[in-house]
A = this chain, B = another copy of it.
Amino acid sequence: MEKTYIAGVLGAGRIGKIHIENIIYKIPNLKLKVVADINRDDKLEKWANDIGVPRLTKDPNELMLDPEINVVVIASPTNTHIKFIQEAAKAKKDIFCEKPIDTDLKRIKETLEIVKKEGVKLMIGFNRRFDRNFQRVREMVSSGQVGIPHIVKVTARDPAPPSIDYIKTSGGMLFDMTIHDWDMARFQVGSEIEEVYTKGAVLINPEIGKAGDIDTVVLILKFENGAIGMVDNSRQAVYGYDQRVEVFGSKGCAIADNETSNTVRLYTAEKIKEDNIPYFFLQRYMDSYTAELRYFIECLQNNREPSPNGDDGFQNVVIAIAAQKSYEENRPVKISEIVS
């Protein structure tokens, strides 16, 4: 029979709530025991109660010190990830942590060494790898239907920019948004990036520029296996959450188009019209959050290394640093300039 795991969740913000719901409703072999959130208030209390959270606390140590809890899901702010991963690892708990691990390569490295030493499993939440469309593309690539990948293209555009306050603390568009896209490119191609060129611009809102960030960016990625990647991002696609992937290779081309809101087309005297693609990332990617956590539990049950793991988390931050440097210096930057 399949082993059941006992979970504690750190952080009950937007993403934390998704994981909590998934654990309660959708993942039979993962039982929720405690949720810890420093911002516990009446509203959160009510939400937790309604949905059936067994216990809500402000104290993360309740999880860390509970010997029955063997899985920790980290959905707290980025600057707490390192601390919680290390503590959970030392407490011999398997860890699912939201992306990014951190923004400092040295701290990430130390943390991954602790994870390794303690022998626990660590998965990083690059949930888009579990989107059914992008997974289907990957299956076509890995089964050879596309042949040897030559060009991989990732388009990711948000419907509206975040607040200027958010942007100021986000680490920048490349660390905050584009990090998903080179992870997607790496996932699809199955090879590591060795060079990156970034071209960024402020085209949507000058305030974003004043805050030291960009709102539009395109990248060219060079992979070790020879493939070339292209990414384009915008903070504002007025028509919705535009998410597409294309892998072109020696035997063909797999293209994942946007999901649609419904399948209805209206033919009128003026135009043929369809409803917009989903506007919000939760509409598009909800199922992928469930799928990634299910997969993590399967990895634990079968003692398999999960993917994306800590090394992927590290590598994606390395690329972010290279991409940022490329943008600032307007030149292609080799990954070997960042880590050797």
Bound CA–CA A264/B264 (angstroms): 18
Copies in the complex: 4
Whether the Cβ atoms of A268 and B332 lie closer than 8 Å is no
Residue of B nearest to A151 (CB): B232
Q: Chain A 255-277, CB within 8 Å of chain B: the 1/0 string? A: 11111111111111111111111
Bound CA–CA A270/B272 (angstroms): 13
Whether the Cβ atoms of A264 and B220 lie closer than 8 Å is no
Whether the Cβ atoms of A136 and B239 lie closer than 8 Å is no
Given A133-B263, A136-B275, A271-B276, does the pair A222, B199 have CB atoms closer than 8 Å?
yes
* A153-212 with Cβ < 8 A to chain B: 153, 157, 197, 199, 201, 203-204
Whether the Cβ atoms of B226 and A199 lie closer than 8 Å is no
Whether the Cβ atoms of A199 and B228 lie closer than 8 Å is yes
* A123-171 with Cβ < 8 A to chain B: 132-133, 136-137, 140, 145-148, 150-151, 153, 157
Whether the Cβ atoms of A226 and B253 lie closer than 8 Å is no
Given A150-B234, A232-B151, does the pair A266, B252 have CB atoms closer than 8 Å?
yes
Shortest distance from the beta carbon of A235 to any chain B beta carbon, whole Å: 10
Whether the Cβ atoms of B255 and A265 lie closer than 8 Å is yes
Bound CA–CA A25/B132 (angstroms): 23
Whether the Cβ atoms of B274 and A271 lie closer than 8 Å is yes
* Chain B residues with CB below 8 A from A140, complex form: 264, 266
Partner of A220 from B218, B253, B274 at Cβ < 8 Å: B218
Q: How many residues of A contact B (CB 8 A)?
A: 69
* Chain B residues with CB below 8 A from A157, complex form: 248
The residue among A218, A234, A263 with the most chain B CB atoms within 10 A of its own CB is A263
Given A151-B218, A199-B220, A234-B150, does the pair A267, B239 have CB atoms closer than 8 Å?
yes
Bound CA–CA A203/B248 (angstroms): 12
Bound CA–CA A215/B180 (angstroms): 29
Given A136-B264, A230-B218, A276-B272, does the pair A50, B28 have CB atoms closer than 8 Å?
yes
Bound CA–CA A253/B277 (angstroms): 12
Task: Check A238 for interface membership: any CB of B closer than 8 A.
Answer: yes
Task: Check A301 for interface membership: any CB of B closer than 8 A.
Answer: no
* Chain B residues with CB below 8 A from A270, complex form: 276
Task: Check A240 for interface membership: any CB of B closer than 8 A.
Answer: yes
Task: Check A237 for interface membership: any CB of B closer than 8 A.
Answer: yes
Given A136-B264, A267-B276, does the pair A226, B252 have CB atoms closer than 8 Å?
no
Task: Check A251 for interface membership: any CB of B closer than 8 A.
Answer: yes
Task: Check A94 for interface membership: any CB of B closer than 8 A.
Answer: no
Task: Check A216 for interface membership: any CB of B closer than 8 A.
Answer: yes
Shortest distance from the beta carbon of A191 to any chain B beta carbon, whole Å: 13
Q: Report which A residues bind B (CB closer than 8 A).
A: 25, 28, 50, 132-133, 136-137, 140, 145-148, 150-151, 153, 157, 197, 199, 201, 203-204, 216, 218, 220, 222, 226-228, 230, 232, 234, 236-240, 242, 248, 250-277, 330-332
